[in-house]
Amino acid sequence: MKKIKSILVLILFMMSVATVSFAQMSEHHGCGNIDPDSLETVTVTGIAIVDTSMMHPMYFLDEDNDGVEDYFLNFGPWWYEPDSSNATRPNDGDTITITGGLYENNMMDEPMIVVYEINGEFWRDPLDAFWNNMGHHSHGGGHHGGGCNGYSWGWLDDSLVTVSIDGIALVDTTFMMNMYYLDEDSDGIPEYFLNFGPPWYEPESGATRPEDGDQISIVGGKLDRNDLPMVIVYEINGLEWFDSTLFGGTFGGGWCERYMNDPVQINSVFDGDDWMTVYPGWHNGGMMEPNSIFVQLLELYPEDIPYAENENIFAGYEIGIFDPWGNNMMWEDGGCGGMMSFNNDADYQFHYNDIQLQGYNIDESTLQVKYWNKNTQSWTLVDNAYVDLANNTISFSSSVASNFVILTGTTVSGVNPEGDITVDKYTLKQNYPNPFNPSTTIEFVLEKSSDVQLTIYDALGQRVAELVNGQMSAGLHSVNFNAAGLSSGTYFYQLKVDGHSLVRKMNLLK
């Protein structure tokens, strides 16, 4: 029986390539809840059972000391070691205390615990937003506490060096988003972490993320770190992944000097139409104000914006401003939500898409932009914003930089955001069940035989799956959507047929 169980564990291990620490992208002190609801955090104590009958040891925990495994412990790939502690894997028979993420929906008889700590020692952090955490200078500006997510992390000390590397892709799927590595010498141990950006990002070139074991060629920006070097992917197998010019010498940010002569434009690297521009003369001349600042702009999932329970948000952004020592100037009393005033106006532009509008059921004619005002502890309307309906942008000028900016609007009257919708006899029904985990059914009715697209988008309006693309007959159709590889949150499904776009919202709850 144990041999069979070991084989099952090995299959599970190979399917996931086990889990890899987010500490390998940064030290473990950070936050940035990329998947806050997917795993329940538990702490258990018991006897370690180590199965050495396979190629690499498999770890279990016997909680009630009866000699039977109660949990399978996922420590990650066999080669992983934490970079910020002296924690080690246990020996057979050791008494251990494990803190980790409980995952019950797996192939084992026992639930799996993805290990975060062992005996009080750090093992790995499931919360770092790794695609944004790209060169924080120190932890003085790190986000923690105060109920604040915080994705903005600082800067790269040096410019990225463009490299070309070839090797075997190693893909870790233990958490709800894949993590990608490159094994350059085919020894099963990665030499690089590959940063493809957020899980929702998809390039226009048609390039796709690799499968585990694929032979790949990567061109990217290399950042040396204490453990695995990180390569920000610009090209894969000769196809563009994203435009490296949006990085400049840093990731999603730029330095603004007190006596600079030219404006500095800061782009959100995964949408070049999101930007802010800081102009010469920004410095107020105050004794406490640094002579240079690093400014970073990032788009967040709407549900990750703090203080926004009563706001009708369909897009949200975080602005990080750091002093030369890495301290986040947007922090207030140990939490986020601060502001900084410039001596002159900065320009801002934010881009949205039709999926966000339709998914959140927003009347585009009512669009507003607001910023978090630390003085009033409330959202303040930007009264000089210009909405460009043709290009789906909203822009304004302000001498105030706030930690958080949101796009809001009024819900379209008379439309149920979670009900069936019908246009010209084409009907898109509400998915069921909703909320769902991990599968749900989407039904739609066609008036006549039509060319149909049924596509899934995340809360940022980025495509994550295509379920249907082709000719379908008239009548009722039912399509299953399995979101096993996605994290909890809001998603949209869009039916495109005969020039019509019908969008409904659904919620994945793990």
Q: What is the DSSP string of 372-392?
A: EETTTTEEEE-TT-EEETTTT
Q: Is 434 found in the same domain as 397? A: no
Residue 378 is assigned to a structural domain of this protein: yes
Does residue 456 belong to any structural domain of this protein?
Answer: yes
Q: 261 and 381: one domain?
A: yes
Do 275 and 403 sit in the same domain of this protein? Answer: yes
Kindly state whether residue 138 falls inside one of the protein's structural domains. no
Confidence of residue 478 (pLDDT cuts 50, 70, 90): very high
- Using alpha carbons, select from 179, 159, 161 the residue that is nearest to residue 25: 179
CATH at 392: 2.60.220.30
Of the residues 408, 433, 451, the one at which a domain ends? 408
What would the pLDDT profile of 272-301 be if each residue is shown by its tens digit?
789 999 999 999 887 778 998 888 888 888
Write down which residue in 76, 103, 122 finishes a domain.
Answer: 122
Q: What is the CATH number for 467?
A: 2.60.40.1930
Are residues 312 and 269 part of one domain?
yes
- Rounded mean pLDDT of 228-234? 86
Q: pLDDT tier at 226 (50, 70, 90 boundaries)?
A: low
- Element (H or E) spanning 116, and its range? strand 112-118
The pLDDT score that the predictor gives to residue 53 is: 86
Rg, Å, the chain Cα set: 24
In the DSSP assignment, the letter for residue 332 is B
pLDDT digits (tens, 9 = 90+) for 52-104: 887 778 899 999 999 999 999 988 777 677 766 789 999 999 999 999 888 76
Residue 452 has pLDDT above 90, yes or no: yes
Q: Considering the domain boundaries, does residue 136 fall inside one?
A: no
Quote the pLDDT of residue 175. Answer: 54
pLDDT bracket for residue 107 (50, 70, 90)? low
Q: Give the list of residues 6+ apart from residue 147 with CB closer than 8 angstroms, or none.
A: 306, 335
Looking at per-residue pLDDT, the higher value among 309 and 436 belongs to: 436
Does residue 330 form part of some domain? yes
The predicted structure's pLDDT at residue 140? 31
463 with 499, same domain: the answer is yes
Yes or no: say if 484 and 441 are a contact pair by the CB < 8 Å rule: no
Residue at a domain's end among 408, 440, 469: 408
Residue 280: what are its φ and ψ, rounded to 5°? Answer: -55, 140
Q: Tell me the whole-structure pTM to 2 decimals.
A: 0.61
* 129 part of a folded domain: no
89 and 51 in a common domain: yes
Q: CB of 483 within 8 A of CB of 439?
A: yes
User: Both 369 and 450 in a single domain?
Assistant: no
The answer to whether residues 281 and 228 belong to one domain is no
Distance CA 403, CA 334 (A): 14
Domain that holds residue 231: 156-246
Same domain, 49 and 30: yes
CA distances in angstroms from 356 to 220, 456, 466, 506, listed in the order given: 30, 12, 17, 13
**Mean pLDDT, residues 471-479 taken together:** 94
Q: Which residue, 391, 157, 395, 353, is CA-closest to 253?
A: 157
Contact 236, 195 (CB under 8 A): no
Q: What pLDDT, on a 0 to 100 scale, did the predictor assign at position 63? A: 96
Q: What is the CATH number of the domain that holds 195?
A: 2.40.50
In whole angstroms, what is the distance from residue 122 CA to residue 13 CA? 22
Sheet holding 439-446, edge to edge: 421-423, 426-428, 439-446, 475-482
Q: How confident is the model at residue 184 (pLDDT cuts 50, 70, 90)?
A: very high
Q: How many CB atoms lie within 10 A of CB 439?
A: 11
Q: Is residue 97 part of a domain?
A: yes
For residue 227, the model assigns a pLDDT of 66
- Is 363 within the bounds of a domain? yes
Please check whether residues 89 and 187 belong to one and the same domain.
Answer: no
Number of domains in the chain: 4
